[in-house]
Amino acid sequence: QVQLVESGGGLVQAGGSLRLSCAASGRTFSTYAMGWFRQAPGKEREFVAAISRRSTNTYYADSVKGRFTISRDNAKNTVWLQMNSLKPEDTAVYYCAAHPTPYYSTYTRDRDYDYWGQGTQVTVSS
C-alpha cells in the first residue's frame, strides 16, 4: 500500500506557472505507474498526465499538452507536475494517483488507479 501527499497548489495569474509535488510513502514506488487528475467545481474528475514506472513513457491530455510536464524521481519517491502557461480553465483540485503494475505503461482512466492523494487546489485568475 502507498500513501500519497500532494503539495504546491495555490493562486496564480493566467500565464503563470506552478509545480505540484506528490510524495509517496513506502519502498516500492518504482513499481507504481503514476498519474495526475483534476476536478473542477461541478465537473467530473478528468485525466491530466501519466508517467510509467521508470519514466520511459508519458501521456498528456490534449488540453495540457505542451504546457504541462510530468516527471518522477524513484529515489525520492516523488512525482511532479510542472504547469506552465496556466489558464483560468486549469482551475481545479489536482490529485495524484498510483497504480501498481509490472508493466511500463501509462494509464489514463481513473478506475485504473488504486491509491489517491487528498488533492491540492490550483486557482488561476484571469
pLDDT per position as a tens digit, 54-89: 999 999 999 999 999 999 999 999 999 999 999 999
Whole-number Å distance between alpha carbons of 120 and 126: 20
* The three grid cell numbers given for residue 60, joined into one nine-digit string: 498528456
Provide mean pLDDT across the span 99-124: 96
For 34-48, how does the pLDDT look when each residue is reduced to its tens digit (9 = 90+)?
A: 999 999 999 999 999
Strands of the sheet with 78-83, listed across from one edge: 4-7, 18-24, 78-83, 68-73
* First-to-last C-alpha distance (Å) of the chain: 40
Report which of 18, 32, 27 is spatially closest to residue 75, judged by C-alpha positions: 27
